[in-house]
Structure 1
Amino acid sequence: MLTRVSDRFSQFVHRYLPDAFVIAVLMTLFVFVLAFFTTPGNPLDLFQSYGDGFWTYLAFTMQMVLLLMTGMVLASVPFIRRGLEALSAKANTAKKAYLFTFLISAAAYYINWGLAVIVGAIVAREVGKRNQNAHFPLLVACAYAPTALYTAGLSSSIGLTVATKDHFLANVMGVIPTSETIFHSGTIIIFLSLLITMPIFILLMAPTKNIIPYKGKDEKTIPERNAEESKKTPAIFLEETPILGILIGLIGLVYTILQFSKGVDLNLNIINLAFLSLGLLFHRSLGQYGNAFKEAAGSISPIILQFPFYAGIIALLGSSGLAAIIIEGMIAVSSTESFGVFTYWTAGLVNILAPSGGGQWALQGPLQVPAGMELGVDPAVIAMTVGWGDAWTNLIQPFWALPILSIVGLHIRHIMGYCILLSVWIGIVTSILIYFVY
């Protein structure tokens, strides 16, 4: 039955869901209209706040761009590609393909969500190449689905933020160690429950008819000079020698090791430098690396285009007071026992409009934490329920799927039907568990 439902729902979504950029623009207009009619003040202030916030996340946008490009270039190193191909060949049935892709991606999301973006996409693509019986859109959804788990992982943005000395809410909630957030027994129970039930739900959704196999994405080959051309000039020699790449790659890796020795947490900057350095080290020359980087550039245009629009939405939600209205409305109908569940639902709603864990915590934390503490709710629980809500609706917010889709060559409408159905299951399971385990 679930297979039939998922088939029909996927067809519906495929027909009516527009491009992710169209969704970003529609959300911007929607928030503008809501802010205009629900908040007092000068309407021109909305335009001012939107424009001021539009470029707020330029640094993060560049981090995501480099994450994609350096990861794709690293994956194109011959021996790494062969290793991924050998590993992916083990998923020789459709069911194994779905489970393999989900579990590998889930492991990567637990370690670091930025790393998982690349790992999940590459595994889905390589498994799809070797298993024509697997429905490729569902396979890609398997790679993206573990984004709902990242709050329990080692790169949980909110969990790490509240554990940082002098974080912006430290004077309200104090500094909370990860033993009370990421490694709390309740967090582990929710994580394991989803880790077990999500792949079962995926298998029940798997289509048995109208299978769409991996059809390939245009992957251009990097032109190489022949031996005679490489000897023509000193300039070409410098482009083709492996020595320069090895030297500069080692410098970056030494820095990365030094950062870990100082106890620095794994973050996007460190991952990007590590990917960049390893790629320089393993590619045969700077010229080859530069060409591979150029070939990867086309995949990152959606990120560059859309993130400023969501930054503008976040600024609108904050300056207009619209976020406060949403959050305070949920708080008003909650009790001490239900506060965590309502916080989870609120976070899920806010995340659809403002898909950024850090940005969302900046909006929601100052309102949610004092209200919860007034009811006697543990601030660590408040932080984690906001995090779970943020991760939950990542599945129905198309922005975070863009990196994976760019690598595998699919459109958002190909996978969103499966992701929406899966998010319903995740919402039910997590809501029940939050009520009982925190």
Structure 2
Amino acid sequence: MSQENRPIQEEEGAMQRMGASLANWAEKWFPDAYVFAAIAVLVVVIAALAMGRTPAQVSVDFGKSFWNLIPFTMQMAFVVIGGYIVAVSPPVRKIIMWLAQFPKTPKVAVAYVAFVAMIASLLSWGFSLIFAGILMREVSKRVAGVDYRAMGAAGYLGLGSIWALGLSSSAALLMATKGSIPPALLKISGVIALADTLFTWQNLVMIVVLLILSVWICYASTPTADKAKTVEMAGITYKEENEDIGTPQTPGEKLEFSPVLTLVIVALGLVYLYDVFSTKGGLAALDLNTYNFMFLIAGMLLHWTPRSFLRAAAKSVPMTGGVLLQFPLYAGIFGVLMGSGLNEVLAHFFVSISTKETLPLVGGIYSAILGLFLPSGGGKWVVEAPYLLQAANELHVNLAWMVQVYNAAEALPNFINPFWMLPLMGLTGVKARDLAGYSTLQLIFHTPVVLLLLWALGLTLPYVPPVLG
């Protein structure tokens, strides 16, 4: 090969070496998502026993709470189902195909997927996972030499960075809806409008800073083509999806290929949504049930016929298997934490060492630690909110900012918690250990930046007493 035809090999930078080292370590040592959840159960059980609970009491606490999150589990499953149905609809797939043509080099491709995934997560974390998953599959087909581990972690970025600062924030939506706030919590906080949480300049600053940071890390750490581990090396094959739904073979199948029934259901859904938004008042209506309903209705309309819609739904259901099996384990962990009083001990400890200036920082650390054991955006907020918001009242810290403290910090453990990786893993064929290395790299940089922002931006907000009643 002549000198001029040899591929140019870039010098490997510090970020690339760090990313590759973490990826190699994770491939060897990081457990399966279910094993990770089981380890969390073991850790919490040992802590509860150390606090004086008997094995029988811990077992009862675990079993009594095992099914307590079933409604929330189904909501999370439908976030995945609805997001997938919309993402694979013909119009959205065309958009993905169009987007996939722009990146030309491995570094740009990974940074590009990260940017798109994070922007999509501001709308819906479930949609972000599926949209980014399909995008990374298409980009991987077009750009040679892309490291599939770096690409996978980029597609997962919405869940580990800014999703909770966007419109699918369970905590912010909960606090904005009076009927959804537990009565005991309502007496502490009152209703906190989305205008005071998600739609503030402080929240926008956090989004922009974390978006730039994440994209830079992806670009700087992605290995060059000659050092990349590609999907072909990993034995992963991305097959072309067959979009042809066929034609009706019997008179009974004709309605499956007709949009008539779809349009009837969509019309009913749109009238209902109009009533919800007009009755509750705009953004106050954006709870998880409304979100899921909107995505299902949109999915029906985008697929146009029942046959196309049902085929997409059937493909989405296997991706919810991990959610359905593992969420009860986390509900059991929740029961052990509550039964032993471990959560209360931790909460009071962090509050006792806080001041008006440091509560956002300390509360963020507490939320991030607890998030390793309770990966539930809305469910975990119900556990933390009484302590965090009561402390905010006592120390005269802005209540709405404490909601955002929770949102930003709660996302940090998602970088290494494989529970939220499950939908992306099902779509792309990767394993948690494939994503964990580059996700850990993001966590290393995000943690100090997030905590610094929570502290500094919190100083700009005055305390506003809650409006009760």
Q: TM-score, normalised by structure 2?
A: 0.84
Q: Against the structure 1 CA distance between its residues 385 and 96, is the aligned structure 2 distance closer, same or farther, given a 3 Å change threshold?
A: same
In 2, Cα distance between the equivalents of 1:385 and 1:139? 29
Stretch moving more, 45-54 or 418-427: 45-54
In 1, Cα distance between the equivalents of 2:171 and 2:336? 22
Candidates 243, 252, 259, aligned match of 2:260: 243
Query: How many residue pairs were aligned?
Result: 433
Candidates 283, 292, 295, aligned match of 1:272: 292
1:357 is aligned with what amino acid?
G
Deviations 1:316-341 (A, max 9, x none): 11221111122222233333322211
Q: Does 1:96 align with 2:113?
A: no
Q: Aligned residue for 2:35?
A: 22
Q: How does 1:322-337 map to 2 (within 5 A)?
A: 322-337=342-357
Aligned-pair distance for 1:56?
1.5
In 1, Cα distance between the equivalents of 2:132 and 2:362? 31
In 2, Cα distance between the equivalents of 1:393 and 1:26? 15
In 1, Cα distance between the equivalents of 2:278 and 2:134? 30
RMSD: 2.5
Deviations 1:344-392 (A, max 9, x none): 1110000110011222222212222223432333333333222221112
In 2, Cα distance between the equivalents of 1:226 and 1:370? 61
In 1, Cα distance between the equivalents of 2:192 and 2:299? 37
Q: Aligned residue for 1:183?
A: 199
Stretch moving more, 347-356 or 427-436: 427-436
In 1, Cα distance between the equivalents of 2:154 and 2:382? 30
**Where in structure 1 are there 5+ consecutive unaligned residues?**
none
In 2, Cα distance between the equivalents of 1:127 and 1:375? 50
Aligned-pair distance for 1:131?
1.9
Candidates 402, 418, 435, aligned match of 2:422: 402
Q: Aligned residue for 2:172?
A: 159
Q: Aligned residue for 1:352?
A: 372
Q: Against the structure 1 CA distance between its residues 254 and 130, is the aligned structure 2 distance closer, same or farther, given a 3 Å change threshold?
A: farther
Percent identity for Structure 1 against Structure 2: 29
Q: Aligned residue for 1:118?
A: 130
Q: Is the 8 A contact 1:222 1:291 kept in 2?
A: no
Q: Aligned residue for 1:199?
A: 215
Q: Aligned residue for 1:11?
A: 24
2:141 is aligned with what amino acid?
K
**Where in structure 2 are there 5+ consecutive unaligned residues?**
1-13, 459-469
Candidates 220, 232, 237, aligned match of 1:216: 237
Which aligned segments of 4 or more residues in structure 1 are displaced greater than 6 angstroms?
A: none
| Structure 1 SS opposite 2:98 | helix
Q: Is the 8 A contact 1:249 1:276 kept in 2?
A: no
2:300 is aligned with what amino acid?
L
Q: Aligned residue for 2:163?
A: 150
| Structure 2 SS opposite 1:353 | coil
Q: Against the structure 1 CA distance between its residues 172 and 286, is the aligned structure 2 distance closer, same or farther, given a 3 Å change threshold?
A: closer
2:403 is aligned with what amino acid?
A
In 1, Cα distance between the equivalents of 2:402 and 2:304? 50
In 2, Cα distance between the equivalents of 1:45 and 1:251? 49
Deviations 1:121-169 (A, max 9, x none): 2222222232233222212211222322123222322223333336332
1:54 is aligned with what amino acid?
F
Deviations 1:53-103 (A, max 9, x none): 111221222223233234333433334323311221122222332232122
Q: Against the structure 1 CA distance between its residues 285 and 336, is the aligned structure 2 distance closer, same or farther, given a 3 Å change threshold?
A: closer
Aligned-pair distance for 1:218?
5.4
Aligned-pair distance for 1:257?
4.4
Q: Aligned residue for 2:15?
A: 2
Q: Is the 8 A contact 2:84 2:131 kept in 1?
A: no
Q: Aligned residue for 2:251?
A: 234
Stretch moving more, 175-184 or 1-10: 175-184
In 1, Cα distance between the equivalents of 2:61 and 2:158? 34
Q: Aligned residue for 2:98?
A: 86
| Structure 2 SS opposite 1:111 | coil
Q: Is the 8 A contact 1:245 1:283 kept in 2?
A: no
Q: Against the structure 1 CA distance between its residues 383 and 278, is the aligned structure 2 distance closer, same or farther, given a 3 Å change threshold?
A: closer
